[in-house]
Structure 1
Amino acid sequence: MSGAGELISGEGHETLRGAYSYVSRTFFPSSSSIPEELLFTAPQYNLWIELLYEPTQEKVLQYAKDVLANGMPPGVIMIDDNWHEPYGTWKFHSGRFPEPKRMVQELHAMGFKVMLWVCPFVTPDSLTYRQLDQTGILLKDRDGKTAIRKWWNGYSAVLDCTNPLAVQWMHEQLDALQKEYGIDGFKLDTGDSEFYESDDLSYIPATTRNGHCEAWAKVGLKYPLNEYRACWKLAGQPLVQRLKDKNHEWEGNGLDALIPDGLAQGLLGYAYSCPDMIGGGEYMSFTSVQLDSELVVRYAQCSALFPMMQFSAAPWRIMNNEHLGYCVDAARLHAQIGPEILELAMQSSKTGEPIL
């Protein structure tokens, strides 16, 4: 659709592949670059399900050691929500991470690259908020007041990423984490269009909800090691797209959704696709239902043949040795065919075609 809302249509490309190739070349040509190679060639390990809102330096290192002790290959390890001070204060929480630089060095020595979770929100009752509220880089509501938005972790102010100064500020925070601690990349979460209003007063006037989602996604283009879950109009760019949280279930929004959703994602131009966390990333599923070991195994086996695969709930904790062995086999299979997957990713960066 054009900016005015006019529907653009056409025909004559004979096949779905032909139609896709035309649309890709015309509207979202590939950038000729890919995200960090390790995302394709080794399993990923996200600590969300295992640690939830209580990550610590000790727990992170133990998870990494357990990966290796159970015969799984090292890869990218993602430290998720709440490693930090209040939202927007992107510094390691001193109580939970007393020596973050040493932790990152140990993870690197074990063969892992390290990602940190971040978002565009700022806790209102924090020093960071008081400082940023004077700069004009926080989003304003229709009345000209700093917008405070409800999201899954409470109520927060929001960076106005249509403002170059807001993007510059965010990049400064992330660059400092890389320089000071050796962090390799970032999971840039949230940014969903539902957290914005169509009449918000932004730096670029009349920015749509989807436009704000797009602006946040562009922040990650600076970092080859990245992950998103919400995106808009950035098909063909070297951004990793993880499928939205899946449930721990066979049918509905669980295992059955991985392949259809992954195929749809590719046809939208987002080739660098990661299925959700193995067993499901909707964490309430792990607190309210009986875990099904075979379901976790099938999640792992399916994910192994995606461009990327991501563990979270520790298979060595939640299942017996037999089922754990199947998960280890799936992880090793992905690493084994990693060079082929990487070759397909590089091909996709030139042709724009989906990997999956």
Structure 2
Amino acid sequence: MEYTMNIKLLENECWWGGCSDDGIKAPFCENSEISRNLDPNNTYNQASPLLVSNKGRYIWGESAYTYKIEKDELVITGIKEKPQIFEGGSNLRETYLLASQRFFPTSKVAPPKEFFDGIQYNSWIELMYNQNQEGIINYAKKIKEEGYPTKGVFMIDCGWNDYYGKFEFSTSKFTDPKAMVDELHAMGYKVMLWTCPFISADTAEFRYAWSKGYLIMNKWGLPSIKQWWDGFSSVVDITNPEVAEWYYQQHKYLMDKYGIDGFKLDAGDGHFYSDDDVIYAKTDSNGQSEAWAKFGLRFKYNEYRACWKAAGLELVHRLRDKNHSWTDNGVAALVPCQLAQGILGYAYTCPDMIGGGQFTDFLEDQDKLDQELFVRYAQCAALMPMTQFSISPWRVLDEYHNGLCRDISWVRMEYIEDILALTEHARKTGEPVVRYMEYVFPNQGFEKVIDQFMLGDNILVAPVMEKGKITREIKFPEGNWKSRSGEIIKGGQTLTVDAPLDVLPIYRKVND
């Protein structure tokens, strides 16, 4: 049975939420072109059954629903349960906080500060499937040699083991993984490994998990073999507490033996599951994705890309793989989609890997990348809660553009105290670290501004996200705004400011 609500939009009413991937289309106002089915969440990124209005209304559903705008109506269709509409607050911020406190209150725990007070480095685009000890150590050493910040997190990505479900380093690629991890620790990094809920079929680990009843089964009583981006694999039934504990112990083995600090918990997307899966819990595809997200609470150092109803928790989230492009699936999506994560209750966020995380963009002609784009990517990410490099800029860029990436990394370090204070505030309140202009300055005409953002309430950041641009049009709120060069801008106006390739426009609100 379906449950449909036709909600008449109020005057100047707009809505935000649903899924972070729709950030590029937000907000959803009269005549907006938006139509989304969240059952299952097939966006490869975070989603929640939440929509929030700037006119004191919000919608929540215990299960997924569809939403779309038809002229001056928001049409909500509950697929399995009836969503509810609530009233409260007078603007986006007040209404978001009411929804947060009621349906996804903060756990009062934040991820460790190492995620925020340095730089993250990830080996994926640099080494792709050829993860190996020599390559990882050489990469880490070059970070310091090239003058980049070395404090933070180092992630070893997919390809460190021989196949999925084998919780041991590949001996052909890693001669002494414990020594490697020790060396990375000595360099100042926490070390994380890529993992997923899949087990390669027809392996010893698969046969063991099948014999123990640890796998998702199909209706014919056989292990369910799922197609995902790396082929066909079985999946652990993480909704079963016994299975979750067993799977945790496999990960803990790596922590105990090699000193691994945590895990990048990939896959687990709702669309990799099926509603007719035979599993322990009575739940659907999104529910299994939710269970995979909550599995990560066992690890202080975690990172997720795909989540369902995991807001308010001490989980680290990143945007899905973005292209090495200026398009809405590249650098232009970083600010809008990062903002969308925040309004869904995912406060501890990281944009995609600098330069792009879609590995197919880097298979050929790495010496012909768009160097301007790479720098603007780095600037766009610099004042997000977290920032992450993968492909090494010193290898694929010339000296000038590599220097600009290095410089903006150190600019980030100037704002670490602000970022740490805001993550602590998020821990206490559930508020986003990165905020919509409309969130901080309600009912002042900022509802459709999604290409600049507020870091907290007082720092305005306006990255350049168009090729060839050396100026930036910025809409300033009321008040006085001080640039990094010391210039004071009188707010309440839209100005075009200089933004050559070596400049990220940043302004701090100051007293009159």
Q: TM-score, normalised by structure 2?
A: 0.68
* DSSP-derived class of the 1:221 partner: helix
Q: Considering fraction of residues, name the structure with more strand.
A: 2
- Look up the SS of the partner of 1:117 in the other structure: strand
| 1:181 match | 258
User: Is the contact made by 2:88 and 2:98 (CA closer than 8 Å) also made in structure 1?
Assistant: no
2: CA distance, partners of 1:142 / 1:278:
43
Alpha-carbon distance between aligned partners in 1 of 2:428 and 2:376, rounded to the nearest angstrom:
32
Counterparts of 1:34-113 in structure 2, within 5 Å, are 34-74=110-150, 75-113=152-190
Structure whose alpha-carbon radius of gyration is higher: 2
CA distance in 2, matches of 1:88, 1:308: 29
Check the 8 A contact 1:119/1:191 in 2, yes or no. Answer: yes
Which of these residues, 167, 172, 175, is aligned with residue 244 of structure 2? 167
Question: Which consecutive unaligned segments of at least 5 residues does structure 1 have?
Answer: none
Structure 1 or 2: larger helix share?
Answer: 1
- Give the match for residue 496 of structure 2: none
Q: 1:120 aligns with which of 197, 201, 215?
A: 197
Kept in 2, the 8 Å contact 1:73–1:331? The answer is: yes
Shift of 1:11: 2.2
The alignment's TM-score, normalised by the length of structure 1, stands at 0.98
Equivalent residue, structure 1, for 2:326 = 250
2:396 paired residue among 318, 321, 329? 318
Q: Distance in 1 between matches of 2:191 and 2:214?
A: 28
State how far apart, in whole Å, the 2-side matches of 1:18 and 1:210 are: 28
Identify which of 52, 62, 66 aligns with 1:2. 62
* Deviation (angstroms), 1:349: 0.8
Q: CA deviation at 1:90?
A: 1.2
Is 1:152 aligned to residue 212 of structure 2?
A: no
1:306 alignment partner, one of 372, 379, 384: 384
1:41 alignment partner, SS class = coil
Per-residue CA shift, 1:135-175, capped at 9, x if unaligned? 11100112221101111111100001111111111110111
Q: Partners of 1:18 and 1:241 in 2: how far apart?
A: 24
Distance in 2 between residues matched to 1:118 and 1:12, nearest whole Å = 41
CA contact (8 A) 1:117 1:188 kept: yes
User: Which position in structure 2 is the counterpart of 1:27?
Assistant: 103
Are 2:307 and 1:220 aligned?
A: no
Deviating runs (4+, > 2 A) in structure 1? 287-290
Distance 2:364 2:102 in 1: 47
Q: Which residue of 1 aligns with 2:92?
A: 16
Preserved CA contact (<8 Å) 2:128 2:158: yes
For the 8 Å contact 1:2–1:8, the answer to whether it is kept is: no
Match of residue 420 from structure 2 = 342
Report the Cα distance in structure 1 between the residues aligned to 2:376 and 2:345, rounded to whole angstroms: 27
Cα displacement string for residues 318-337 of structure 1 (whole angstroms, at most 9, x for unaligned residues):
10111001101111122232
SS at match of 1:238: coil
What 5-or-longer segments of structure 2 have no aligned partner?
1-60, 64-79, 435-512
Q: Deviations over 1:272-293 (max 9, x none)?
A: 0100000110111123674100
1:188-227 maps to which residues of 2 (within 5 A)?
188-205=265-282, 207-227=283-303
The match for 2:316 is: 240
- 2:443 matched residue in structure 1: none
Q: For residue 156 of structure 2, what is the amino acid of its counterpart? A: I
Once the two structures are TM-superposed, the CA of residue 251 in structure 1 deviates from its matched residue by 1.6
Q: CA RMSD in A?
A: 1.1
State the identity %.
Answer: 49
CA distance in 2, matches of 1:165, 1:233: 22
Q: Flag the structure with more relative contact order, 1 or 2, with Cα contacts below 8 A and sequence separation at least 6.
A: 1
Q: What letter matches 1:298 in structure 2?
A: R
Give aligned pairs, total. Answer: 355
Contact 1:55 1:96 in 2 (8 A): yes
Write the letter of the residue equivalent to 1:305. Answer: L
CA distance in 1, matches of 2:91, 2:337: 21
Report what 1:355 is aligned to.
433
Distance in 2 (alpha carbons) for counterparts of 1:103 and 1:330: 29
